[in-house]
Amino acid sequence: MTADGERMVFLDGSRLIIEAMARAGVGAYIGYPITPVNWLFAGAKQRIPIALEAPDEITALQWSAGFSSSGVFPVTASAFPGFALMIESINMSFMMELPMVIILAQRLGPSTGSATTGGQGDLLLLRGCISGGYSIPVFCPSNLNDCWDMAAASVHTSVNLRTPVVLLTSKEMVMTNQNMNISSLREVQRAERHVFEGNGEYKTYGVNGNLAPPFLPLGNDLHQVRLNSSTHDMEGITQKNSPEALGNTERLKNKIEQRIDDYTFYDHDRAEDADTVILTYGISAEAAREAVGSLRSGGDSVSLLVMKTLLPVPPRIYELLDAYEHIVVVEENISGLLRELLFGNRQDGRVFGVNKIGNMITPQEIAEGVRQCRKPS
């Protein structure tokens, strides 16, 4: 009775994320235990060639940077408390231009909050985590298929741009089992680093057209490699604020932003004549899909825009939103982080928030938000 070629299994997002990353070429997983990344860690121990337990999250990131600089692609995972400890080292890796993925599984905060309750409270932390306001790419899966696709995209983007990348998810995505036909999963290509070739002069941060410099591992026999976390010139030598060094720092911003179209991912489910769009990401997207279904079957034409590339904010998102009179932003926090990211602190009547903490936002609450947003205030 099963359709041809179908492989229906019952599995969780953690397993898909780790498997996709392994296929994309992840060579090391460095973890420090924290709920809700338990299943990611467990999967990595079975799947990733090197899986290590670090004694703390600062070490986890430093080891990751060490692996990355010697040519092995590393992944680590944590929740806010551990991620907070990693931030200085993520800045270091950003500055050194070391590819790696940090999986951030959100849970209810502030602080240690509630380890086994989901949440969507870390978006603006990611927006500001690099000193100077530079963006690191942040991807966010909205369902099991995305766990696969966005995990692979994280690794590829990280390698292509030579930058740390965050895969932002939440407890409900990585610790819920669901049925899935895994034969529908896309093939994942291995991400290959753009390696410096030839015997000419090599400058660690020398770029040639492409804004991400070609890579050579520490310890290679051909050229001296100088990785540096401090402001540095193209050779990797510390400089206070020489034009070359400041130009290099500016390049770090440009290389991420200029290629945003290469890694802009979203689902836009547009209804004809819709004046309202539900805008959301991550775990709230699934409730929104259900809400859209029930609203439409009740005759209410409403669109849905699910962001999967959250940072830097893709310009395409604004273009899509321009078509709507009402934007209902759904996220599991009470501060409206995505709303603030996109529309600032002074939002006009076009923007309406559906927010809560402690439990997932329900389809009914989203439908109610859609009705509310159209009422004249």
Partner 1 sequence: MQETILNDLKMPYCPGCGHTVANKSMSKAIADMDVDPLDVIVVSDIGCTGLVDPLLTCHTIHGLHGRAVALAMGIRMGLEHPEKKIIALQGDGGATIGLQHLLEAARHNLDLTLVVQNNMVYGMTGGQTSGLSSTEFKEPERPESAVPGYDICALAHNAGAAYTARTFIGKDTSELWKEALSTSGFSLIEIVEMCPAYGLRKVQELHDTADYESVVTRNSRAVGMPHRATGRSLLDGLKPIERTCDAPLDGRLEIIVAGSAGEAIQSAGDLLSTAGITAGLSATKKGDYPITIGTGFSVAEVILSRDPIHYTGIDCPDIMIVISQDGLDKVQSRIGGHTLVIADEKLGTELGGSPGPLDPPDQSGPSNVVTGDFRKTGGPKGAALAAIAHWLQDNGFLPIEALIEAASRHKHGDKMKVIIDKAVAA
Bridge partners (DSSP) of residue 100 are: 164
- Which one of the spans 3-11, 241-249, 302-310, 319-327 is the region binding partner 1 (CB under 8 A)? 3-11
Nearer to partner 1, 56 or 244 (CB): 56
**Please, which of residues 41-60 interact with partner 1 by CB under 8 A?**
43, 46-52, 55-56, 58-59
Phi, psi of 209 (to 5 degrees): 80, -70
Longest dimension (CA), the chain: 70
Bridge partners (DSSP) of residue 281 are: 307
Q: How far is the CB of 373 from partner 1 (least distance, A)?
A: 20
Q: How far is the CB of 73 from partner 1 (least distance, A)?
A: 10
Token readout for 222 is 């051909």
- Residue 256: DSSP 8-state: H
Q: How many residues bind partner 1 (CB under 8 A)?
A: 80
Q: How far is the CB of 318 from partner 1 (least distance, A)?
A: 26
**Please, which of residues 318-337 interact with partner 1 by CB under 8 A?**
none
Q: Which of 280, 323, 330 is nearest to 301 (CA)?
A: 323
Nearer to partner 1, 122 or 286 (CB): 286
Nearer to partner 1, 76 or 342 (CB): 76
Q: Which of 279, 281, 282, 283 is nearest to 292 (CA)?
A: 279
**Please, which of residues 71-110 interact with partner 1 by CB under 8 A?**
71-72, 74, 88-89, 92, 96
Note whether 165 and 153 are within 8 A (CB): no
Token readout for 37 is 């990344």
- In the sheet where 164-170 sits, what is the strand order? 50-53, 26-31, 73-78, 100-106, 164-170, 138-139, 309-311
Nearer to partner 1, 139 or 148 (CB): 148
- Which one of the spans 2-10, 242-250, 300-308, 337-345 is the region binding partner 1 (CB under 8 A)? 2-10
**Please, which of residues 23-42 interact with partner 1 by CB under 8 A?**
27-28, 30, 35
**Please, which of residues 242-301 interact with partner 1 by CB under 8 A?**
286-287, 289-290, 293
Look at residue 100 and give its three-state secondary structure. strand
- Show the DSSP H helices in 26-122 as ranges: 38-47, 57-69, 80-96
Nearer to partner 1, 27 or 347 (CB): 27
Nearer to partner 1, 226 or 351 (CB): 226
- Residue 149: DSSP 8-state: H
- H/E stretch holding 148 reads helix 144-161
Q: Give the residue, chosen from 112, 115, 132, 242, that forms a contact with partner 1 under the rule CB under 8 A.
A: 115
Note whether 17 and 167 are within 8 A (CB): yes
- Which one of the spans 6-14, 150-158, 192-200, 248-256 is the region binding partner 1 (CB under 8 A)? 6-14
Neighbour tally for 6: CB within 10 Å = 10
**Please, which of residues 221-240 interact with partner 1 by CB under 8 A?**
221-230, 236-238
**Please, which of residues 161-190 interact with partner 1 by CB under 8 A?**
172, 175-179, 182
Contacts of 150 (CB under 8 A, 6+ apart): 139, 140, 141, 167, 265, 308
Q: Give the residue, chosen from 116, 131, 254, 258, that forms a contact with partner 1 under the rule CB under 8 A.
A: 116
Q: How far is the CB of 278 from partner 1 (least distance, A)?
A: 13
For position 210 contacting partner 1 by CB under 8 A, the verdict is: no
CA distance 285 to 268: 12
- H/E stretch holding 14 reads helix 13-23
Q: Give the residue, chosen from 67, 83, 205, 215, that forms a contact with partner 1 under the rule CB under 8 A.
A: 67
Token readout for 14 is 């953690």
CA distance 163 to 166: 10
Q: How far is the CB of 187 from partner 1 (least distance, A)?
A: 13
Q: Give the residue, chosen from 11, 124, 234, 271, that forms a contact with partner 1 under the rule CB under 8 A.
A: 11
